[in-house]
């Protein structure tokens, strides 16, 4: 079995627990995102403590997921619950992620939060959790509902952003900045078939296709990989000397695209956007190396996921089928508003 990476946070456990108040110094946009999430979660006056929650993310080799791990740990410490965060070694390792989930089911958590790599890979593990009566919350990209139902399984909840809006917001800002002159643009997607990648690509594509002054010259899979995205961007600028914009389905690829164009001496005049707003992207936006990144509050997401899981473990009946997270766009014009963003 392959080695997995993760972390455990433990704190004093209580028979029941009042949800900790938001810190007074929390970034106002983060606070509003948390409030929007909590407004969907029903009665929060008391949440049953004494629970152990398992969280399965995609890979801690990606800085986005290491930041998510930190946010889970911060809330777990404040809430006085035990959280174990596990991940597959690399992006796209479908079997390893399933193996990890099946190991987690055997550990007997009170609830499990999962982020699937694709719509199908975790279905066998979800079925095992169903058999043991362990509530499962899907966090992020959707598990294929029909395939899961056909297999005789179910999810107990879903927390997600509208990933299509991530691509849409970036593309709308790009089109606005290109103005009437427009020009040719390209999209570097993640892993083909991955839910968040497909939605972001579709959101951006729909905006570009509706803008008569803009033409999409290329859509290629960067597979979330920095080196591959660098090579794709290098080829793009050679094949399309008049390229005016690139939308990438995550920041790692957007940063690589910017580096590729700089190395080719073609960075000037090309607008590059990413998604996730990882720390390196924040600095790149401040320096105008990137023109933007779409994001949601990881603090709001992880708090919502943990509360969702705790309420399911306590058999609460006032929960939504889906918990929605607000999407925002960070640009050089509003980057100061994101000081303290998490």
Asked if residue 5 has pLDDT above 70, the reply is: no
3-class DSSP state of 271:
strand
pLDDT tier at 2, thresholds 50, 70, 90: very low
pTM: 0.82
CA separation, residue 176 to residues 94, 169, 245, 333 (Å): 38, 11, 12, 14
Q: What mean pLDDT comes out for the span 209-237?
A: 97
Confidence of residue 14 (pLDDT cuts 50, 70, 90): very low
Determine the Cα angle at 130 with ends 128 and 134, to 5°: 100
Highest mean pLDDT pick, 40-49, 124-133, 137-146: 124-133
- pLDDT tens-digit series, residues 21-55: 666 678 999 999 999 999 999 988 777 667 999 99
- Residue 73: Cβ-neighbour burial (10 angstroms; 0-12, 13-18, 19+): middle
DSSP state of 341: -
Q: Which of 151-160, 230-239, 244-253, 312-321 has the lowest mean pLDDT?
A: 312-321
Question: Taking 60 as the threshold, does the pLDDT of residue 140 lie above it?
Answer: yes
Beta bridge partners of 139: 159
What is d(CA 180, CA 194) in angstroms, rounded to the nearest whole number? 34
Helix H or strand E segment including 47: strand 47-48
240 within 8 A of 186, measured Cβ to Cβ: yes
């Amino acid at each position: 079995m392959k080695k997995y990476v993760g972390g455990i946070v433990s704190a004093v456990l209580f028979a029941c627990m009042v949800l900790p108040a938001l810190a007074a110094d929390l970034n106002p946009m983060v606070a509003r995102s948390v409030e929007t999430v909590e407004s969907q979660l029903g009665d929060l006056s008391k949440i049953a403590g004494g629970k152990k929650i398992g969280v399965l993310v995609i890979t801690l080799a990606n800085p986005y997921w290491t930041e998510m791990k930190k946010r889970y740990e911060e809330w777990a410490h404040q809430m006085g619950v035990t959280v174990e965060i596990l991940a597959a070694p690399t992006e796209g390792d479908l079997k390893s992620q399933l193996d990890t989930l099946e190991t987690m089911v055997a550990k007997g958590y009170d609830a499990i939060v999962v982020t699937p790599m694709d719509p199908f890979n975790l279905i066998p593990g979800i079925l095992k959790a169903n058999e043991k009566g362990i509530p499962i919350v899907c966090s992020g990209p959707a598990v294929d509902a029909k395939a899961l139902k056909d297999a005789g399984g179910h999810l107990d909840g879903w927390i997600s952003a509208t990933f299509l809006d991530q691509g849409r917001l970036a593309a709308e800002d790009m089109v606005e900045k290109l103005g009437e002159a427009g020009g040719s643009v390209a999209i570097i997607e993640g892993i083909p078939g991955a839910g968040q990648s497909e939605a972001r690509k579709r959101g951006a594509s729909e905006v570009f296709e509706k803008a008569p002054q803009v033409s999409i010259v290329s859509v290629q899979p960067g597979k979330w990989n920095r080196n591959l995205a660098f090579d794709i961007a290098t080829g793009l600028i050679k094949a399309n000397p008049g390229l005016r914009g690139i939308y990438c389905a995550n920041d790692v690829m957007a940063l690589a695209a910017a580096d590729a164009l700089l190395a080719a001496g073609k960075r000037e005049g090309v607008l590059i956007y990413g998604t996730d707003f990882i720390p390196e992207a924040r600095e790149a936006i401040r320096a105008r190396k990137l023109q933007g990144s779409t994001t949601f509050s990881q603090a709001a997401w992880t708090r919502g996921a943990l509360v969702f899981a705790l309420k399911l473990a306590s058999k609460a009946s006032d929960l939504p089928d889906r918990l929605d997270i607000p999407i925002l766009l960070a640009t050089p014009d509003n980057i100061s508003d994101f000081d303290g963003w998490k």
